[in-house]
Amino acid sequence: MIPPRIKAGETLGIVAPAGPIKADKLLSGLSALGKTFTVRLAPSLTMPRPQGLPSYLAASDEVRAAELNAMFADSSVRAILLARGGYGITRILHLLDADALRADPKPIVGFSDGTALLSWAVHAGVRGIHGPVLAQMGTLPPADIARLHELLMSPDAKGPRPWKLDGPPLATSGHLVPANLTMASMLVGTPWELPLTGAVALLEEVGEKPYELDRYLTQLAMTKALARTHAVVLGDLIRCTDPLPPAGGPDAPEAALATIRERLPQVLTGAPVGHGDRNEPLPFGAQVSLENGVLTLEEAAVA
C-alpha cells in the first residue's frame, strides 16, 4: 500500500526506536524541520534515561516498541519520523504491530539502522521513505529537507534525479531498495529480509572498515541476495577507513570504494544518500528506471 499524503498542519510523530538523541540534536533537528507539520514527540525523547540501560539504546525494548505501536494506532498521526539511527531496531521488530500499520497506512521516514524498520513496513505492506533522521537535519542543506516535505505531501512521481551516476551504462528498471549495507547483510535470513529480488539496490555505509565492507558483501554474495538485484547503486561511504590495517600504514582514501568495486564490478557510484553532507530522501520500494547514469523515480512515496 502507498500511504496517503500528509497535509500541512497534520501531525508528524517522532520516535527513537534505536539509539538516543542528544538534546541539542533534537532541538536543531526540530528547527530545521520547520513548522509545516504539527510535531508529536514520543515520551521517552524528553524523559530521563533509566539507570542500567545500555548507552546505545534510547529506552527499553518494550518502551521503544510501545511508542512505535502507539504512533501506528493513533489516527491523528499521519507520518512517523525517526529521531536518529544507531542500533536497536532489529531487537524490537517482533514486538511491532503490523496489523495496526496496515489498518492505517502512514509513511515511516528513516535510514541507517532504520533500514530494518523500512523493510519491516514493506513486509507489512506499507511503503516508507528512506530519508533523513531528525538528528541529521540540522546539518543538511535546506533542499534535502524541502525534498522530504515534498515526498510526504505530494502524490506525484519525482522523475529523474539531478545526479549523474558513474559506472557502466546500464539500462534497467526495478523497485528501489535504499539500505545501509550492514543492515542489508544482517537482515538476510530473517522474516524481514530486504526485498532485493528484481530491485535497484542503493547502499550506503558509515564507520565500517574496508575489510568489514568486504565481510558484508561476501555474506550477501554467499546468500545470493545481491545476485537477485537488477542493479546496485552506491551512496556515501563515510569514515570507512582503517587506521591500522594488517598490511601496515593507513588506508588510502579510496580504499573503501575500491573494496566495493572489487566485490561489485558493475556498481554505479555517486548517489547523494547516506551519512554525509547530503541525504536526499527516496521512496522505499517505488518503481525506478536506470539509464546512462540517471535514476528516474516513476512512483511517488504517497498517494
Q: Which of 105, 134, 153 is the last residue of a domain?
A: 153
Q: Is residue 1 part of a domain?
A: no
Closest CA to 106 of 6, 32, 244, 202: 6
Burial class (CB within 10 angstroms; exposed 0-12, middle 13-18, buried 19+) of 229: buried
> Is residue 199 located within the same domain as residue 290?
yes
In whole angstroms, what is the distance from residue 25 CA to residue 37 CA?
19
Q: What's residue 21's pLDDT?
A: 97
Residues 180 and 269 in one domain: yes
Residue after which a domain boundary falls, among 153, 173, 196: 153
Domain count, the chain: 2
* Per-residue pLDDT at 244: 86
Q: Is residue 303 in a domain?
A: no
Looking at this protein, which amino acid is placed at residue 143? A
What does the pLDDT read at residue 192?
A: 98
What separation in angstroms does the CA of 293 have from each of 173, 189, 198? 12, 32, 18
Q: Is the domain of 131 the same as that of 17? A: yes
33 domain residue, yes or no: yes
145 and 195, same structural domain?
no
Q: What is the dihedral of CA 84, 89, 92, 98, to 10 degrees?
A: 90
Q: What's the domain range around 214?
A: 159-297
2 in a structural domain = no
| DSSP 8-state assignment for residue 138 | T
* 3 domain-assigned: no
Pick from 105, 128, 153: which residue ends a domain? 153
Based on the fold, state whether residues 168 and 133 are members of the same structural domain. no
Do 168 and 221 reside in the same domain of the chain? yes
Sheet architecture: strand order including 129-130: 38-41, 11-15, 77-82, 108-110, 129-130, 282-283
**CATH for 288:** 3.50.30.60
Instruction: With 0.95 as the threshold, say if the pTM is over it.
Output: yes
How high is the mean pLDDT in each 10-residue block of the chain (303 residues)?
A: 97 98 97 97 94 96 98 98 98 98 98 98 98 97 97 97 94 98 98 98 97 97 96 97 85 91 97 97 98 97 98
Question: Does residue 32 fall inside a structural domain?
Answer: yes
The CATH number of the domain holding residue 49 is 3.40.50.10740
The Cα–Cα gap between 157 and 144 comes to: 16
Assigned domain for 4 exists: no
How far apart CA 49 and CA 124 sit, in angstroms, is 30
